[in-house]
Structure 1
Amino acid sequence: MRKQLFPLALGGLGIGTTEFVIMGLLPDVAKDIDISIPSAGHLISAYALGVVIGAPILVALSAKFSPKHILITLMALFTIFNFLSSIAPDYYTLMLTRFLSGLPHGAFFGVGTVVASKLAKEGKAAQAIASMFTGLTLANLAMVPLVTFIGHHLHWRYAFGIVSLIGIATMLFLYFWMPKQKALRTVTFKEELEFFKTIKAWHILTIVSIGFGGLFAWFSYIAPLLIHVSNFEEGSVSYLMIVAGAGMVVGNIFGGYLADKKDPIKVSILLLSLLVTSLIIVFFFSESKLLSIILTFICGALAMSLGSPINMVMLKSAKHSEMLGAAFLQAAFNVSNTLGAFFGGIPLVFGLGYNYPALVGAGMAIFGVALCILFLKRYNM
C-alpha cells in the first residue's frame, strides 16, 4: 500500500469498527441503559440512516474545497460524534449520536474513492480503491472482535472511545501524509446533479441496492444459521466470523485486481454469479460443518470483492460527478444492507429454517446479475 493511501485505509478501519461493533454489543447496551434488545437494534438503523442522508449532502456542501481538508473535516465530525456516543447518558441521546456518527461515513468513502483513483498509478485505480477498503475488511477480521471483547468485558462505552482514538490518528495521518490536491469539483453542483437525472445513474444504484442485498440477506442471519443449521456451539460463532473477515480481506484485494484487468461491469457479473452459486450451496449444504466453514470464507470473499468493480463502474459513468456518484453508491450499499436483512427475514417469519435467507439472497443476487447484463448491453462500457 502506498503511503498516501494509508490514511484512507485507517479511516476505513475506524468506520468499519463503529458500524459493526454495535451488533455484538447490543445486549450490553440494552442492559446498561435499560431498554430491550430490539430497541437497541434501532441504533444500527439510526447509523445506517445517517449514512444514507449524509453521503450526498456532505459531499454537495464540501466539494468545492480541497479533498485533504474535506477528509480531515469529515473525520473530525466522525470522531466527535463517536466520542459523544461513548458518553451518551440515555437511549435517545445515543440514538442521536449514532445517527450523527453515520453522516460522514458515506461522504468519507465517496471522497476517498475519487482521491484514491487520482493517486493511483496508470491502470491501478481499482486496486487503489481496494487499498482504501482494506481498513474496512481488517475491521471485520480483527478490530470488531477485539473491540467487542473489550466492550463486553470492560464496558460498551470503551468501544466508541477506541473508535474516537482511531479517528484522531486518521486526522493526523491525513494531515501529514495526504498530498494536497485541487478541489475535485470541475462543474457546478447543478451540473453534477444532471447525471442523477439519467436512467444510467439509477441503474447502477439499483444494481447495488438489490443485487448486493443478496449477500446481506445471508450475512444478517449468519449466526443463527451456523448455530441452528450447521450445529456449531454458540461460542464458536465469533471465531467463524473471523473466517468471514479473512475472506473479506482476500476478496477485497482480488476484486480490485480483477477490476483493473477487465471491464468492471463484466467482473461484477462474474462475481455476482459466483455469489448466486455460493448462496445456493449454502442453502442446500449448511448442515455440513466443514462446508459451512469453507462457504463462510467464500461468501465473505465475494461480499468484499464486489466493492471495487462497482465503484469503477460508477466512476467511469459519472463523468464530472464522480465524487457525488461515489457518495450515492455508499448510500446504496446501506440500502442494500437494509433490504437484504428485511427480505432475508421474511422466510423466518413464516417459520422456515435459517438456511432460507441464503436462498432469498441468491434470488436478489440473480436480479443483480440480470441488471448488470442489461447495463452491459445498453451502455457497452
Structure 2
Amino acid sequence: MTASLSPTSIAHTPTDDRTLVRAVLALGVGGFSIGTGEFVIMGLLPEVARDIGVSIPQAGHVISAYALGVVVGAPVLAVLAANWGRRALLMALMVVYALGNFASALAPGYGSLTAMRLFTGLPHGTYFGVAALVAAALAPPGRRARAVGWVMLGLTTATLVGVPIAAALGEAFGWRAAFVFVGLIAVAAVVMVRLWVPVMPASHGASPLRELGALARKQVWFTLGIGAIGFGGMFAVFSYIKPTLLEVAGMPPALMPFVLSLFGLGMVAGNIVGSRMADKALMPAIGKVLLWSIAVMALFVPAAHHPVSAALATFLLGTVVAIGPALQIRLMDVAGDAQTLAAALNHSAFNAANALGAWLGGVSIAAGLGWTSTGWVGVVLGLCGVGIFAWALSSERKTQRATAGLSA
C-alpha cells in the first residue's frame, strides 16, 4: 500500500521518517543495480573479448557505448518524460535498465553487445536525477543533501559489494551471468519503488519546453562545468590505477582486489561526509571538496611510490565523490522550474568528467611523463574546477546586487 504525497511539501513526522527510509532504500537499490552494471564489465573485459572474438581494446568500446548512452539519455529522456509522475517514471527507467542488461547477456557478438550497452546506459542519468528529486522532496528541512547522498550510496556501495559479486558470478558462470544478476537487481528495484515510493505527480505545468528552460540559466552551466571538469581528476588517476600500483608501487597483483576495495570504501565515506557538509553550507562544501580534490591528486604523485602509501592514496581518491550530493542539490536550487532536466544532467557531467579525465591521463602517460603524471593532470583539472566555482560565485553576487538595486 502506498501513499500519495506532494512533491514539494511533506510534513516531518515519524510516519514520514518511515516513508523516507523505505523510499530511499528502494531508490538506492536501483542505484546499486546501475552502479554494478556500469562498473562490472571493466573487470570482465578479457572474458568478453575472448567470447565475442575481438581484442581487449576493441571490447573496451562497449564501455564507451554505455557512457555515450548516459550522456545522450539523460537530457533526452528527462525532457520527453517531463510531465510523467515521478514514481511511474522511475519504474519505467528501471524496467528499461533491466531489459538492457538481459539483452546484453544474450548479445551474440560485438555489434549487438555495443548497441545493447548503449541502450542500457540511456536511463542511467535520468534515473539518478529523478531519484534525487524524490529523495530531496521527502526529506525534512536541512537534510536534503543527506537524502540525496543515501540514494547515491547505492551507486558507491555497488563498487564495494555489487561489482565483486557480479565479477565472481562472471568468472564462475561466464560474463553473461553478471548482466543477468544486474538485471535481476533492477527488477527487484522496480518492485520496491512501486511499493515504497509515494505517488508524486509531475509539478504543475511541467512540459518538455519548460524543462529546456534549464539550459538558459547560467548557474546551471556553471554547476555542470564544475562537475565535468573539476571532478575529472579522480578519473584521470583511477583510470590507470592498476598499472600505476603494479609498475610504480611494486604492489603484488594478489593485493589488487583489496586495494581497489579501499577505493570503494573511500567513495562510501566521501558520499556520507560530503552530503552532511552540503546540508550545513552548500556552496562552501563545493569549494572545500574541490580544494580537497587538488590536495589528494597532488599527494598521489609521491604516495604512489610505496605500497602502503599508495593504498592510502587510493582510499583518499575515492573520497573525492563527496562533491556529488552537493552538486546535485545545487542544480536543484538553480534550475527553477526545470528540475528534472537539470538534475539528470548532473550524471551527464560526471560521465563527461570520466571521458575527459581518462583521455588527459592517457595523453600525459603517452607523452612519456610516467604513470604518476595522472596526479598532476588531476591537480590541473581541480584548479580549473575552482576557477569555474569562483566565476559562478562572482556571477551570482553580481546578479544579486543588480536585483537589490532594482528593488531599492
TM-score normalized with structure 2 length: 0.91
Structure 1 residues 174 and 187 mapped into 2: Cα distance closer, same or farther (>3 Å)?
closer
Amino acid at match of 1:337: N
C-alpha displacement at 1:371, in angstroms? 1.0
Check the 8 A contact 1:67/1:184 in 2, yes or no. Answer: no
Match of 1:83 in 2: 102
DSSP 3-state at the match of 1:2: helix
**In the alignment, which of 25, 28, 34 is matched to residue 9 of structure 1?**
28
**In the alignment, which of 134, 138, 142 is matched to residue 161 of structure 2?**
142
C-alpha displacement at 1:148, in angstroms? 1.1
Q: Please give the per-residue CA displacement for 1:85-140, whole angstroms capped at 9, x wherever unaligned.
A: 00111110100100000000011011111111101111100000001011111101
CA distance in 1, matches of 2:214, 2:349: 16
Q: Does 1:266 align with 2:292?
A: no
**In the alignment, which of 111, 132, 136 is matched to residue 113 of structure 1?**
132
**In the alignment, which of 388, 391, 394 is matched to residue 374 of structure 1?**
391
Answer with 212-221 or 145-154: which moved more: 145-154
Match of 1:279 in 2: 297
Match of 1:317 in 2: 334
C-alpha displacement at 1:265, in angstroms? 2.2
Match of 1:365 in 2: 382
Match of 1:68 in 2: 87
Amino acid at match of 1:287: H
Amino acid at match of 1:153: A
Match of 1:330 in 2: 347
Root-mean-square deviation (CA), in Å?
Answer: 1.3
C-alpha displacement at 1:154, in angstroms? 2.1
Q: Which has the larger radius of gyration?
A: 2
**In the alignment, which of 45, 50, 58 is matched to residue 39 of structure 1?**
58
Check the 8 A contact 2:214/2:341 in 1, yes or no. Answer: no
CA distance in 1, matches of 2:203, 2:29: 22
Q: Does 1:49 align with 2:68?
A: yes
Match of 1:256 in 2: 275
C-alpha displacement at 1:185, in angstroms? 5.8
CA distance in 1, matches of 2:176, 2:283: 42
CA distance in 2, matches of 1:198, 1:319: 9
CA distance in 1, matches of 2:313, 2:283: 24
Check the 8 A contact 1:55/1:330 in 2, yes or no. Answer: yes
Structure 1 residues 197 and 317 mapped into 2: Cα distance closer, same or farther (>3 Å)?
same
Q: Percent identity?
A: 37
Match of 2:323 in 1: 306
Query: What stretches of structure 2 of length at least 5 have no aligned partner?
Result: 1-19, 401-408
CA distance in 2, matches of 1:182, 1:150: 39
Output aligned runs, 1:334-345, within 5 Å. 334-345=351-362
CA distance in 1, matches of 2:235, 2:34: 18
C-alpha displacement at 1:209, in angstroms? 1.0
Check the 8 A contact 2:82/2:207 in 1, yes or no. Answer: no
Q: Does 1:354 align with 2:340?
A: no
CA distance in 1, matches of 2:270, 2:65: 28
Check the 8 A contact 2:303/2:313 in 1, yes or no. Answer: no
Q: Does 1:162 align with 2:219?
A: no
TM-score normalized with structure 1 length: 0.97
C-alpha displacement at 1:322, in angstroms? 1.3
Match of 1:208 in 2: 227
Query: What stretches of structure 1 of length at least 5 have no aligned partner?
Result: none
Check the 8 A contact 2:217/2:335 in 1, yes or no. Answer: no
